[in-house]
Amino acid sequence: MLRKNLLYIAFFWGISTSVSGQDIVDLIRFDSATQVTINGERVQKLYNARLGMRDVIMICDSAYRFIDRNEMRAFGNIQIDTDTETIWADTVIYFNDRDVSLLRGRVIIKQDSTTLFGNKVDYDFESKIGVFTDNIRLEDPNGVLTALSGIYYQTQDSAEFRHQVQLQDTSQYIEGDSLFINREREYVEIYSNVFAFDSTNQSILTGEYLEADSTGRRYAKENAYLMNIEEDSAQTDTMHIFAHELLLLDQDTTSIIRGFKDVVIWDKNFSSLSDSLEYDSELELFELGGTPKAWHKEIQLNGPYIFVQLDSNQVKELKAFHKAFAVQRDTVTGRLHQLKGDTLFAFFDAGEIYEINLYPNSQLLYHTKNDENEPDGAMENSSPETILLFEDGELIQAKMGQNQGLFLPEYTDLVNRTLDGFSWNPDLRPIKPTFIPAPRWEPIPVERPFELPMRYRQFLEALTED
């Protein structure tokens, strides 16, 4: 008798008990069934049903099968189990002759350690691709990612997110207008209005494009900007780097920063302009290339290659190679002391200059003062090597080799006298940024975007019990 009832049900519903074709659905279990006509179409209704479709098992409160157009709709407390994921939804429209199904309402897709939430998802059970057209939230053990829309590629373990994209994990917050992520390779690309905050390194990175990977590599381009926040310091008194491109590398305990094209640095202790930059955090060494200019207090240094050596964030050494030219403005008279040579080394103690070495082919133009601190002439000298010693920023001794020099008495136009190659550009000196980038949107909510469906809550409870 039981066998007869099952055969009758299968005949009545036009449903096979085995999957053998694209338009066939397996009936596994249901509580009751009716057949009706809706808008002239034959519709078969199942209540509290369990159905099989290819390699998919679906449980729902009710299911409508539209016989004449190979379409089935499921409603209420839906759970779909496949070999790779579990899906929950309020409504499902399943097309027997097409791979894409429309998931609507409170949609949740669980795959391994990844859980996705959305309101409208077009899902392809064959390719395992989900298109989220009304918000998407991705959660995994590493953090949360949200956007207004997106596409999830389960097989490739990748996703594309668009519009108001936000990513938050234990060490960073990132936002932008669109994002591509490959979770297996831990590789991310972010586009347009990118803002990234790294709480581990206390840094902000912005640009029109950013890519990052699991090695700690960060690459930003187009109006790239990096702000490193020193521990226990105000945000505005930290290091700021602007460039067309910035590359950040983490190597064990060392961070490397490389900048390319139109590099601008402002730090509370020095500032610079250059075509290229390399910074080693362990050595606290800045290497500036191209046609760089560097400023420290009243000193401007020019040369094709400039090194700025810090010690505990204080300038310790300035070095320039190949046709170096330094200008120091006298804080009392405003006169411009000038130094040039093939190589220049300037040494500092607690940020105050105490020695300058120039060699070979050194030249010097140094303005003097009388006892009343008034200009009273200048020394002009050429020598294979020059060593200048300072105290409290004032020249106290000059040591020169075989030199040719003269003392110039004060005269009206002495203030304008310059050495060949003179360069003094205070108007180009970078100033402290007054605008600090900040997130455009509110933080990612801790709460899920909707009340969790009943069967999903039961799933979570079962995991807790296990």
pLDDT over threshold 70, residue 230: no
Cβ-proximal residues to 44 (8 Å cutoff; 6+ apart), any chain: 13, 14, 33, 34, 35, 64, 65, 67
Indicate the pairing of strand 375-383 with strand 404-409: antiparallel
**140-197 pLDDT, tens digit each:** 888 999 999 999 998 888 999 999 999 998 888 999 999 999 987 889 999 999 999 9
Please report which confidence band the pLDDT of residue 250 belongs to, taking 50, 70 and 90 as the band edges. confident
pLDDT over threshold 70, residue 32: yes
Which residue matches tokens 């019990």? 465
pLDDT over threshold 80, residue 10: no
Average pLDDT over residues 406-426: 93
pLDDT for 450 equals 94
**211-228 pLDDT, tens digit each:** 998 888 999 999 999 998
**302-328 pLDDT, tens digit each:** 999 999 999 888 899 999 988 899 999
**74-92 pLDDT, tens digit each:** 999 999 998 889 999 999 9
Q: Which helix (H) or strand (E) covers residue 11, if one does?
A: helix 2-13
Q: What are phi and psi of 113, to 5 degrees?
A: -95, 5
Nearest CA to 402 among 429, 375, 362, 356? Answer: 362
Percent of the chain, pLDDT > 90? 59
pLDDT for 20 equals 34
**323-375 pLDDT, tens digit each:** 899 999 999 999 999 999 999 999 999 888 999 999 999 999 999 999 899 99
pLDDT for 24 equals 54
Buried b (16+ CB within 10 A) or exposed e, 244-271: bbbbbeeeeeebbbbbbeebbbbbbbbb
**The one-letter amino acid at 363:** Q
Give the architecture (CATH level 2) of 269-431: Sandwich (2.60)
Average pLDDT over residues 286-296: 94
Please report which confidence band the pLDDT of residue 117 belongs to, taking 50, 70 and 90 as the band edges. very high
Please report which confidence band the pLDDT of residue 251 belongs to, taking 50, 70 and 90 as the band edges. confident
Tell me 83's DSSP state.
S
pLDDT for 83 equals 87
Please report which confidence band the pLDDT of residue 127 belongs to, taking 50, 70 and 90 as the band edges. confident
Distance of CA 166 to the CA centre of its chain: 11
Quote the tokens at residue 284.
Answer: 């606290």
